[in-house]
Amino acid sequence: MGADQKKDSKFQTFLDTQQYARKGILLYERIFGTTYVSTGGESTTAKFCSELSAHSLKADDKILDVGCGIGGSAFYMAKNFGVQVYGYDLSVNMINIANDLRLCEPAIVTHSTQFYVEDATLMDYPDQFYDMVYSRDTILHIKDKKALFEMFYKTLKPGGKLVITDYCHGDKPKHSQHFVDYVKSRGYHLHTVPEYGRIIESAGFVDVVATNYTPGFIDILKGEVTEFSKKKQAIIEEFSQKDFDYIVTGWNDKIKRCSDGDQAWGYFVAKKPYA
């Protein structure tokens, strides 16, 4: 096993025993919404898909969902657009839950979604196979983003779309020590929204639109923590007071980091040219 594989295996163990232990995933699901572990849950998935549907989501298209979590976006796209979704995630726990949930979906969704445990930086990408690569708040973990985007470029058909949301640095010249420590503790590799867009462009993509969606992100976070707090007693009974406080504190911390200009949330859409 090479050094990179050992490192990734260690990171996978960290995810499955710490940040994304099964209980933790189910706790996150309570704030993001059923089958989701990404910002805004179904509401943001529906918004982004509606913006793409006129040109980029057609029946029987093949979608690569990188960092698919527990399947929410994959189920939504399969159910509403008739596409074939191939979901990949490094977390074994995420994929196990996704496959459990998949069996509870209608037959059309069950047959149109597949989930696998894979490392996006090491897995094989078939040439010109997918019509869209979709990723929600996942690539923040990956240092060499350009190399990953080059693999996405390779696996997309000509004219295929890249659709990403991700955590980013705010534009301020000096970040708070609290934010610096937070990023280090999570092992994140962040860029500003414009820098992120330029990296996508450097991998060959065209029509790159890099949108700083931070104000909307803050509104989503506030809405999520408000709705979650309304379910306080049920959450405490299902999990614990400590778990409830962990989520509320974490969301309020995210709101503060974004409000202070340390953290940003980027929304990126790009296309592989036809020639």
Q: Average pLDDT by consecutive 10-residue portion of the chain (275 residues)?
A: 48 54 92 96 95 82 97 97 96 95 94 96 96 97 97 97 97 94 94 98 98 98 98 97 96 98 98 92
What's the pLDDT at 2?
43
Q: Is residue 167 part of a domain?
A: yes
Q: Is residue 100 part of a domain?
A: yes
Query: Looking at the whole model, is its pTM more than 0.85?
Result: yes
Q: Is residue 78 part of a domain?
A: yes
pLDDT digits (tens, 9 = 90+) for 223-251: 999 999 999 999 999 999 999 999 999 99
Tokens of 26: 């189910």
Give the integer Cα–Cα distance in Å for 50 and 134.
14
Q: Is residue 63 part of a domain?
A: yes
Domain at 195, CATH number: 3.40.50.150
CA neighbor of 163 nearest in space, from 121, 195, 198, 210? 210
What's the pLDDT at 4?
47
Q: Is residue 17 part of a domain?
A: yes
Give the integer Cα–Cα distance in Å for 90 and 15.
8
What's the pLDDT at 275?
77
- Structurally, how many domains does the chain consist of? 1
Q: Is residue 161 part of a domain?
A: yes
What's the pLDDT at 14?
52
Q: Is residue 113 part of a domain?
A: yes
Identity at 5, one-letter amino acid code: Q
Q: Is residue 199 part of a domain?
A: yes
What's the pLDDT at 54?
66
What's the pLDDT at 21?
84
What's the pLDDT at 57?
86
Give the integer Cα–Cα distance in Å for 109 and 32.
21
Q: How many CB atoms lie within 10 A of CB 60?
A: 10
Residues 6+ apart with CB under 8 A from 108: 78, 79, 82
Phi, psi of 86 (to 5 degrees): -110, 105
Give the integer Cα–Cα distance in Å for 53 and 55.
6
What's the pLDDT at 178?
94
**What is the domain extent for residue 101?**
3-21+57-171+189-212
